[in-house]
């Protein structure tokens, strides 16, 4: 399995080398660079992407490592770190004596030759030829200087960017590309230089990551300031958001947002939103039915209900025609209310002469005070229930004799036993014990 190892150096940044061996982060490897062969620490291990694997110059882009550091290589690297501090101090002292505006950063010793690579930072170009002649006689080896810029210094120092992640230059970038302010304009960013600058003081490298996508989308949208008519007013484009497909326009009073499609419709004088015809066949009971089965089921249910109602009406009409009598009778054959009934002897509708005893019915007339001919009924008193006075109730009195005040005359009382009965005194004597 092929792995890509990221090995960083101050003089060239992080470079990737390929290997088939199992190597972890922090291991020492010997690699060849443009400036010689050096011992470096593995800072990152990853597998090549599918796009990288298909490249024809894969071996050129990712050269193989020379070897995994042996015991001798590890001892050489440890000794080199001690000697590098001494070299940095002596070089900085000689540069100060020559009044050279440069800051010595680090020194690297080559593995296969007597050579030292010294890195330094300077704001301007520095003529260090005289310094090189002095150091050759001092160290008795080949001396090579490599100037690094502000971005390299930030990469060496490391840190956290505005996005909250480690700096791109110290994590995965292998080289620095040219970043211009036009990239920020193309992405419609506010031209605030402090906010667009990284820790190195230069424009952030991430401005180039999305520049190609914005360059392809930007010509498809209107320019800032483009004017158009909408709702009897003149609007001007004031903002764009390519990620959300939003065009913001302002007419002096209100802001209005458009998508790219809506903007093209408005420019042609059409409504902002395309009119969508409402669906004719829609089952309101089943909601939105995309398959059409709900509409068919609803029509089937309506037809079944209609057929059931037709059968019920037909059944009612047939039943009513067969059971209705001709003379207003009831369906069961009994005479109706308005039917003529014979008034024979003994019938309630017959005259008094034809009724037995002149009564309106065949039953004895014991419940009325007077008979049908107006004479008093002798059985009236015996037919009434005899109320005993032991229960304390008022004896039965004929109707029409009670006064409005509730008092009854003695002469109107028919049951004289009430008058003969002694009255019981319910009041207690004062001497009686309570």
Higher pLDDT, 262 or 411: 262
Higher pLDDT, 97 or 335: 97
Higher pLDDT, 310 or 276: 310
Query: How far apart, in whole angstroms, are the C-alpha atoms of residue 252 and residue 248?
Result: 13
| Residue 416 lies inside a defined structural domain of this protein | no
The enclosing domain of 107 has a CATH number of 3.30.300
| Average pLDDT of the segment spanning 349-362 | 46
Task: List the strands of the sheet with 234-241, edge to edge.
Answer: 227-229, 234-241, 246-250, 255-258
pLDDT tens by residue, 252-283: 889 999 999 999 888 888 888 776 555 555 54
Higher pLDDT, 352 or 5: 5
Query: Do 9 and 55 lie in a common domain?
Result: yes
Query: Do 81 and 108 lie in a common domain?
Result: yes
Residue 300 pLDDT exceeds 90: no
Query: Do 38 and 95 lie in a common domain?
Result: no
Query: How far apart, in whole angstroms, are the C-alpha atoms of residue 301 and residue 307?
Result: 10
| Average pLDDT of the segment spanning 153-163 | 84
How much is the pLDDT for 301? 83
Residue 303 pLDDT exceeds 50: yes
Q: Which domain-ending residue is among 148, 170, 198?
A: 148
Query: Do 207 and 227 lie in a common domain?
Result: no
Query: How far apart, in whole angstroms, are the C-alpha atoms of residue 95 and residue 132?
Result: 10
Query: Do 60 and 80 lie in a common domain?
Result: no
How much is the pLDDT for 379? 57
pLDDT tens by residue, 171-228: 778 778 889 999 998 888 888 888 899 888 889 999 999 899 898 888 899 999 999 9
| Residue 27 lies inside a defined structural domain of this protein | yes
| Residue 387 lies inside a defined structural domain of this protein | no
Residue 34 pLDDT exceeds 50: yes
pLDDT tens by residue, 59-90: 888 999 999 999 998 999 899 888 999 999 99
Tokens 């009778």, located at residue? 329
Structural domains counted in the chain: 4
| Residue 300 lies inside a defined structural domain of this protein | no
Partnered with residue 272 across adjacent β-strands are none
3-state helix, strand, coil in the chain (%, to 5): 30, 20, 50
| Average pLDDT of the segment spanning 409-413 | 65
Query: Do 42 and 11 lie in a common domain?
Result: yes
| Residue 85 lies inside a defined structural domain of this protein | yes
pTM of the model: 0.48
Q: Is 111 helix (H, G, I), strand (E, B) or coil?
A: coil
Q: What are phi and psi of 74, to 5 degrees?
A: -65, -40
Query: How far apart, in whole angstroms, are the C-alpha atoms of residue 284 and residue 412?
Result: 80
Residue 361 pLDDT exceeds 50: no
Query: How far apart, in whole angstroms, are the C-alpha atoms of residue 61 and residue 15?
Result: 9
User: Under 8 Å CB-to-CB from 21, ≥6 apart: which residues?
Assistant: 3, 68
Query: Do 107 and 128 lie in a common domain?
Result: yes
| Residue 385 lies inside a defined structural domain of this protein | no
Express as a percent the part of the chain with pLDDT over 70.
Answer: 69
Query: Do 47 and 11 lie in a common domain?
Result: yes
Q: Which domain-ending residue is among 48, 68, 88?
A: 68
Query: Do 53 and 82 lie in a common domain?
Result: no
Q: Which domain holds residue 213?
A: 181-218
Query: Do 8 and 62 lie in a common domain?
Result: yes
| Residue 329 lies inside a defined structural domain of this protein | no
How much is the pLDDT for 276? 58
Q: Which two tokens stand for residue 103?
A: 């800051």
For residue 191, the tally of other CB atoms under 10 A from its CB is 9
Q: Which two tokens stand for residue 319?
A: 């039943």
- Under a CB-based contact definition with an 8 Å cutoff, are residues 372 and 359 in contact? yes
DSSP H or E stretch at residue 110 = none
Query: How far apart, in whole angstroms, are the C-alpha atoms of residue 2 and residue 432?
Result: 128
- Binned at pLDDT 50, 70 and 90, residue 329 comes out as very low
| Residue 134 lies inside a defined structural domain of this protein | yes
Query: Do 77 and 144 lie in a common domain?
Result: yes
| Average pLDDT of the segment spanning 367-389 | 54
Query: Do 15 and 36 lie in a common domain?
Result: yes
């Amino acid at each position: 399995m092929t792995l890509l190892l990221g090995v960083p150096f101050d003089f060239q940044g992080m470079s990737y080398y390929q290997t088939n061996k199992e190597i972890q982060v922090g291991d020492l490897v010997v690699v060849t660079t443009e400036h010689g062969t050096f011992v470096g620490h593995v800072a990152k291990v990853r597998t090549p992407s599918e796009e990288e694997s298909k490249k024809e110059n894969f071996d050129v882009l990712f050269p193989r490592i020379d070897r995994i550091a042996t015991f001798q290589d590890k001892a050489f690297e440890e000794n080199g770190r001690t000697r590098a501090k001494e070299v940095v101090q002596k070089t900085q002292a000689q540069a100060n004596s020559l009044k050279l505006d440069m800051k010595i950063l680090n020194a690297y010793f080559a593995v296969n030759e007597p050579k030292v690579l010294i890195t330094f930072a300077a704001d301007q170009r520095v003529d260090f030829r005289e310094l090189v002649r002095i150091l050759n006689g001092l160290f008795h080896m080949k001396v090579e200087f490599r100037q690094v810029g502000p971005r390299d210094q930030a990469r060496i120092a490391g840190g956290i960017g505005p996005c909250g992640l480690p700096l791109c230059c110290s994590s995965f970038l292998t080289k620095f590309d040219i970043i211009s302010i036009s990239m920020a304009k193309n992405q419609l960013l506010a031209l605030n230089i402090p906010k667009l600058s990284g820790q190195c003081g230069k424009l952030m490298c991430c401005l180039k990551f999305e520049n190609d996508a914005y360059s392809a989308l930007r010509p498809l949208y209107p320019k800032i300031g483009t004017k158009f008519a909408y709702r009897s007013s003149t609007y001007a484009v004031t903002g764009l958001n390519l990620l959300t497909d939003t065009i913001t326009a302002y007419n002096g009073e209100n802001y209005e947002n458009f998508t790219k499609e809506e903007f093209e419709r408005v420019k042609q004088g059409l409504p902002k939103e395309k009119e969508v015809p409402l669906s004719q066949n829609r089952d309101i009971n089943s909601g939105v039915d995309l398959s059409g089965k709900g509409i068919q089921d609803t029509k089937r249910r309506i037809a079944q209900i209609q057929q059931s109602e037709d059968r019920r009406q037909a059944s009612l009409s047939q039943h009513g025609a067969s059971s209705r009598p001709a003379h207003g009778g009831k369906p069961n054959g009994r005479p109706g209310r308005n039917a003529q009934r014979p008034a024979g002897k003994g019938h309630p509708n017959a005259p008094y002469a034809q009724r037995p005893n002149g009564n309106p019915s065949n039953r004895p007339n014991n419940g009325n005070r007077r008979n049908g001919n107006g004479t008093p009924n002798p059985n009236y008193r015996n037919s009434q229930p005899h109320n005993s006075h032991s229960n304390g109730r008022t004896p039965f009195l004929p109707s029409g004799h009670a006064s409005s005040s509730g008092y009854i005359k003695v002469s109107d009382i028919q049951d004289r036993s009430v008058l003969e009965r002694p009255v019981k005194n319910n009041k207690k004597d004062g001497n009686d014990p309570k």
